[in-house]
Chain A
């Protein structure tokens, strides 16, 4: 008799009792009661540090009873300590699926997903934690962490404050987390006070000091950032995260050689003598500022390669094309004529959409416009994508988006777009972007232009400012930064270009099919003729000119995107046509981009 091979996830279990286990493989609780002593022994072994014994016992039990949750928990703990990561994930997923109310398991899987950057899934589990244990401070802590990372810090702040209220204590780690949350909201003074309190109320913690340093760096207090890094370094000398933060800080202080030396130190300390993806991209950006363009390109290319290898992410070209095809198929002039439009709510500030491919200058435009007293910065608001996902449920449609918009033809769904509009406003209110006195709030979620048709239906009177920039500059900038937008297109040079063409084609389609309150604005014009460009945008929104909009670099608001450092500096002409220094390296994407470059009115 041949046995099933071991599961490729690395759990140590046989495949048929692990990732390929069928529901029939589960045994009734009654039938496996005799295993209880073994489970207790495994748990005891784990507690006493006898990991090998714990592992052996857990595997034995699970081969007999694949659904035994106690043994799964033991094996999960063993693998969590020693890997592999695939087994850790497989085991905790199975545990949560078999025992959905297991609070400990929910906590574990939330943290795992958060660490992995799978924020949507992390949020699902964090919400479950609150449902299972609404009065447990940790449930709210999970929500706080996840929503801060998911760029909904206002909701995250609520949950952090719930932790304080429920625990009745001001735990230094919690205070540091809350401080980071406030930093992402641009509330630097409050964040600083919390970091100071955290530092006073407990022994120094490296993560707290690192977060504090990054906050000070973002707030342009470079000396304070340096001091916090020194203190963190004293706790964890030569920690790679601290060193990277130090390199970033030195870069912002224009001490490029020193920054490079720090990164070299990071490489020397690593197990293989090389840098990770983020460090490589940082190194590339430093080299770029030093005018060492070929070296910079090599670092960018290396960083992207490593990111692909480590994450396994690659551009989802087929998905992107399918989506674009479905949008073009649905949003046609003939169909749009028959669909209603959302109505305008007079009681609330209106969204002003800033559209553009990542790294095309949307942050700059938002910083300029939000310096106006009647325009509040909303940042990257997730609601349009959420609405697209939610629409079938809200409309009780058997179809998905965009086809679910067909429900608007039904008598009881004629006001469906207003339902979507109100969902958007509810979320906007929760996110705190509805500032009293402001007539507008910006929404600059990158690639919202993919859903231009939907936006045009829900908010037909909302201004859409589309920021254009030379496609080669955009490609170069995306290539030198870490981004996950756009179906993971940023993971290779070719896919960045490919996705950019796809999105611009889609925008052109929408514009030819429907009336949109749309204004193209060139990044290069903002640099060259700032006042004229800003006046044009404000005219377009129907707002009077305000000179504060020209001093965007003095806007103390913190931009939460990769551009946060650039937008604190005055406009500089060298940010235009940077591609010229990299033309040789960009040659592979020239044929793909040439028609778009011409159509947008640029040249090479």
Chain B
């Protein structure tokens, strides 16, 4: 290229070598250093496709998706038709919510390199986001056919199958989740094999509350089933769950430190129990309430709310954001501002259950319904459970507090993204997992207005509460 000589003079190294160093930095997560090197390369050679592509990857990893896509588009414009560029551009568009563009980019990638399993995998994800589940499953199967050891594609296939209600095959594919690179093992230093579900009347089983809090709350329903099959069951969970789960499962030992767990003959992640149980849609163990709050703590909250919430107002718990590090957080989390239509419903008070950075949005809430910020006072799920008992309704995005409310049998409305997590299935407004739950689905990707309006309209239809 005409200006590469200038860059060599400027940097003092051949440009290819600089690019390689930048790539190493990028792969090692040293993004600032990679970015600085690439900036210098691009100053000297603004159209250098590999540098543009790599700079796009750095942008992507820094969460600057639009800038990333723009750079890769430029790389494509100034380079050869490189399948890798299209493959990566597919994911960048996907993160930007530009699903049609993402499909076109992904299809271009597989057209250029039909043997690229990674490109099929990216298309699997995009099709899922567009709720083209047939397309998603087809791409996943194609990726697996090309590379049967690709864990991400097995997992993506699991999600699509489970979403469609094909649980048997879905559970099997779901087992690949721990093989995804970078996923920590659920049980560090396991000293016994993973449980196969066979009865162990004299054996000790260690269950591990893996995945997020929501998963733990959803799958802990299987603890009694495991207790019935094993002589001794221990459930290892995070401290935030401990005080909630201990009274719920008195025949199991609940621990929050590995060193507190007794010796075991087998172990199993909680999220592996549905497979072992052979759960089908019509055999989900779905008791109306399988967790319970401390009655005294619930009474304390009721008394407190009586003092803080206007008499006769319905107490509606809300949470609008999940853990920001969740890989689908940009789709599942909303903002308090998007819940504004709920605040226009007369006779309700919003009780914020929000924890984490989303809590700051409360300072900018000026809706008509009074909002009581109780999130800062909730440290454990047991405390949250007690508060939930004192509420009339909970309206939340797909986050742990929704699972908790439903596991307690409290009325809960879940606001779902267009392509929801597999457990919420397709189309339906109820959940076979939770009898007290009602599902509200986005009408279009990343479009909260309609789904919140639906929930607000339903809220208006609810009968008033009796005067407290």
Return the contact of B368 from the options A461, A536, A541 (Cβ within 8 A). A536
Is A539 a contact of B310 with CB atoms below 8 Å?
Answer: yes
Report how far A522 CA is from B363 CA in the complex, Å.
16
Is B310 a contact of A512 with CB atoms below 8 Å?
Answer: no
Report how far A322 CA is from B371 CA in the complex, Å.
29
Given A336-B376, A512-B359, A514-B373, are A601 and B310 also a contact pair (CB < 8 Å)? no
Is A337 a contact of B376 with CB atoms below 8 Å?
Answer: yes
Return the contact of B308 from the options A517, A599, A600 (Cβ within 8 A). A517
Is B374 a contact of A515 with CB atoms below 8 Å?
Answer: yes
Is A333 a contact of B376 with CB atoms below 8 Å?
Answer: yes
Is B364 a contact of A508 with CB atoms below 8 Å?
Answer: yes
Report how far A508 CA is from B366 CA in the complex, Å.
10
Is A511 a contact of B313 with CB atoms below 8 Å?
Answer: no
Which residue from chain B places its CB closest to the CB of A544 in the assembled complex? B311
Is A511 a contact of B363 with CB atoms below 8 Å?
Answer: yes
Contacts of B367 in A (CB 8 A): 520
Given A520-B366, A536-B368, are A511 and B373 also a contact pair (CB < 8 Å)? yes
Interface residues of A in 449-479 (CB under 8 A from B): 460-461, 468
Contacts of B362 in A (CB 8 A): 511-512
A103 within 8 A of B: no
A576 within 8 A of B: no
Contacts of A519 in B (CB 8 A): 370
Given A461-B308, A539-B310, A539-B313, are A517 and B370 also a contact pair (CB < 8 Å)? yes
Contacts of A599 in B (CB 8 A): 364
A516 within 8 A of B: yes
Report how far A203 CA is from B379 CA in the complex, Å.
74
Return the contact of B376 from the options A460, A515, A517, A522 (Cβ within 8 A). A515
Report how far A474 CA is from B364 CA in the complex, Å.
19
Which residue from chain A places its CB closest to the CB of B354 in the assembled complex? A512
B146 within 8 A of A: no
Is A468 a contact of B308 with CB atoms below 8 Å?
Answer: no
Report how far A536 CA is from B346 CA in the complex, Å.
9
Contacts of B373 in A (CB 8 A): 511-516
Report how far A203 CA is from B310 CA in the complex, Å.
58
Contacts of B202 in A (CB 8 A): none
Interface residues of A in 530-588 (CB under 8 A from B): 536, 539-542
Chain A proximity of B353: nearest CB distance (Å): 12
Given A461-B307, A511-B373, A515-B376, are A601 and B363 also a contact pair (CB < 8 Å)? no
Report how far A507 CA is from B307 CA in the complex, Å.
22
Chain B proximity of A449: nearest CB distance (Å): 12
Range of interface residues on A (Cβ < 8 Å): 20 to 34
Return the contact of A509 from the options B312, B363, B368 (Cβ within 8 A). B363
Interface residues of B in 374-389 (CB under 8 A from A): 374, 376-377, 379
Report how far A36 CA is from B370 CA in the complex, Å.
74
Describe B's contact surface by its main secondary structure. mixed
Which residue from chain A places its CB closest to the CB of B307 in the assembled complex? A461
Contacts of A601 in B (CB 8 A): 366
Interface residues of B in 304-338 (CB under 8 A from A): 307-308, 310-313
Is A344 a contact of B376 with CB atoms below 8 Å?
Answer: no
Report how far A541 CA is from B367 CA in the complex, Å.
17
Which residue from chain B places its CB closest to the CB of A510 in the assembled complex? B363
Contacts of B361 in A (CB 8 A): 512
Contacts of A508 in B (CB 8 A): 363-364
Which residue from chain B places its CB closest to the CB of A598 in the assembled complex? B364
Which residue from chain A places its CB closest to the CB of B308 in the assembled complex? A517
Range of interface residues on B (Cβ < 8 Å): 20 to 34
A222 within 8 A of B: no
B172 within 8 A of A: no
Is A518 a contact of B363 with CB atoms below 8 Å?
Answer: no
Chain B proximity of A104: nearest CB distance (Å): 54
Contacts of B311 in A (CB 8 A): 542
Which residue from chain B places its CB closest to the CB of A464 in the assembled complex? B370
Report how far A460 CA is from B373 CA in the complex, Å.
12
Which residue from chain A places its CB closest to the CB of B376 in the assembled complex? A333
Chain A proximity of B339: nearest CB distance (Å): 14
B43 within 8 A of A: no
Which residue from chain B places its CB closest to the CB of A533 in the assembled complex? B368
Chain A 58-92 interface 0/1 with B at a Cβ cutoff of 8 Å (1 = within): 00000000000000000000000000000000000
Contacts of A511 in B (CB 8 A): 362-363, 365, 373
Is B307 a contact of A512 with CB atoms below 8 Å?
Answer: no
Given A508-B364, A512-B363, are A337 and B377 also a contact pair (CB < 8 Å)? yes
Is B310 a contact of A540 with CB atoms below 8 Å?
Answer: yes
B21 within 8 A of A: no
Contacts of A333 in B (CB 8 A): 359, 376
Is A344 a contact of B307 with CB atoms below 8 Å?
Answer: yes
B289 within 8 A of A: no
Chain B proximity of A465: nearest CB distance (Å): 10
Chain B proximity of A351: nearest CB distance (Å): 14
Contacts of A522 in B (CB 8 A): 366
Is A518 a contact of B370 with CB atoms below 8 Å?
Answer: yes
Report how far A333 CA is from B356 CA in the complex, Å.
11
Contacts of B372 in A (CB 8 A): 515-517
Contacts of B363 in A (CB 8 A): 507-512
Chain A proximity of B28: nearest CB distance (Å): 35
Return the contact of A514 from the options B360, B371, B376, B379 (Cβ within 8 A). B376
Contacts of A509 in B (CB 8 A): 363
Chain B proximity of A533: nearest CB distance (Å): 10
Report how far A510 CA is from B376 CA in the complex, Å.
11
Given A461-B308, A539-B310, are A600 and B366 also a contact pair (CB < 8 Å)? yes
Report how far A540 CA is from B368 CA in the complex, Å.
11
Which residue from chain B places its CB closest to the CB of A540 in the assembled complex? B310
Contacts of B368 in A (CB 8 A): 536
Contacts of B308 in A (CB 8 A): 460-461, 515, 517
Chain A proximity of B320: nearest CB distance (Å): 13
Is A542 a contact of B377 with CB atoms below 8 Å?
Answer: no
Which residue from chain B places its CB closest to the CB of A601 in the assembled complex? B366
Which residue from chain A places its CB closest to the CB of B373 in the assembled complex? A515
Report how far A515 CA is from B368 CA in the complex, Å.
17
Report how far A337 CA is from B374 CA in the complex, Å.
11
Contacts of B310 in A (CB 8 A): 539-542
Report how far A510 CA is from B359 CA in the complex, Å.
11
Which residue from chain A places its CB closest to the CB of B374 in the assembled complex? A515
Report how far A188 CA is from B114 CA in the complex, Å.
92
Report how far A517 CA is from B351 CA in the complex, Å.
11
Chain B proximity of A520: nearest CB distance (Å): 4
Report how far A510 CA is from B365 CA in the complex, Å.
12
Which residue from chain B places its CB closest to the CB of A522 in the assembled complex? B366
Report how far A601 CA is from B367 CA in the complex, Å.
10
Q: What would 15 more interface pairs be, CB under 8 Å, given A512-B362, A540-B310?
A: A333-B359, A460-B308, A507-B363, A508-B363, A512-B360, A512-B361, A512-B373, A514-B376, A515-B377, A517-B308, A519-B370, A536-B368, A541-B310, A599-B364, A601-B366
Instruction: List 8 interface pairs A-B (beta carbons < 8 Å), by A numbering.
Output: A337-B376, A512-B360, A513-B376, A515-B377, A517-B370, A520-B366, A540-B370, A541-B310
Question: What are the nearest 6 A-B pairs in CB distance?
Answer: A508-B363, A333-B376, A461-B307, A520-B366, A512-B363, A511-B363
